[in-house]
Amino acid sequence: MNPIDPKIHQALDGEIPRAALSAELRRDADLLERAAALLAAAPQEGSVAARVMAALERPLPPRRSRVVRWLLTPHAVVLRMRPVWSVALAAGVLLLAILPAPSGAPALGDEEGVAQFVARFPGARSVAVVGSFNDWRPGSIALEDPDHDGVWRGAVVLPAGAHEYMFVVDGERWVADPLAGRYVEDDFGRENSLLIVRPVAE
């Protein structure tokens, strides 16, 4: 802390005239006097109530900002539910898991299974599966290539057991399934693919 010259005290208290001070002390006395005047002045802001009211009247941020802020702010979620409703809800969820597939899905019998056919025929316009399971009728089981990458796929519900089949490409070209892994002579000089369908109940 810088000590204040006692002559400045005396001049500020009016004990000696300001003119009796040297020029340097007179300047310091003036600075001290202005500082005291600033401290003594009343605060410019209003009361606490006035400041609170001013904050309340401030315009709201845009709705989007408020929604974003609400979404990003953690909130406590309290779900009040009677125990009986909790049990009913749990039973409903369990039933949904146990019940058979929704309508549109095939209901499989114990002696049925699902055969998946996948074949690569780039540039083909159509690929069908024909075999003993559809009386060798081309077109009754058409494979699909929705993304046009040349890979044709299809899933078919068939009786469990062994089935002979072939692919028919573009309605005229008969081709054995290169991925079948099992083949038998077709007695017409070619080979049929052999598929063994596993029962779904196995």
Residue 156 engages other proteins in binding (rule: CB under 8 A): yes
Dihedral sign (CA 43, 48, 49, 50): positive
Which two structure tokens, joined as six digits, stand for 19? 């003119």
Shortest separation between residue 142's beta carbon and other proteins, angstroms:
9
Residue 143 engages other proteins in binding (rule: CB under 8 A): no
Residue 173 engages other proteins in binding (rule: CB under 8 A): no
Q: Which of 13, 24, 147, 187 binds other proteins (CB under 8 A)?
A: 187
Q: Total residues contacting other proteins (rule CB under 8 A)? A: 39
Residue with Cβ nearer other proteins (30 or 111): 111
CB 198 within 8 A of CB 162: no
Contacts of other proteins in 108-127 (CB under 8 A) = 108, 114, 116
Cα separation, 13 vs 32, in Å, equals 12
HSE at residue 40, side-chain half, CA atoms within 13 A, is 6
Residue 135 engages other proteins in binding (rule: CB under 8 A): yes
DSSP-assigned states of every residue in 59-82? PPPPHHHHHHHHHHS---------
Shortest separation between residue 140's beta carbon and other proteins, angstroms:
5
> 135: which DSSP letter?
T
CB 184 within 8 A of CB 162: no
Cα separation, 60 vs 112, in Å, equals 66
Q: Which of 46, 61, 106, 178 binds other proteins (CB under 8 A)?
A: 106
Of 11-19, 75-83, 90-98, 151-159: span binding other proteins (CB under 8 A) = 151-159
By CB under 8 A, name the binding residues for other proteins: 101, 104-106, 108, 114, 116, 130, 132-138, 140-141, 154-158, 160-162, 164, 174, 181-182, 184-188, 194, 196, 198-199, 202
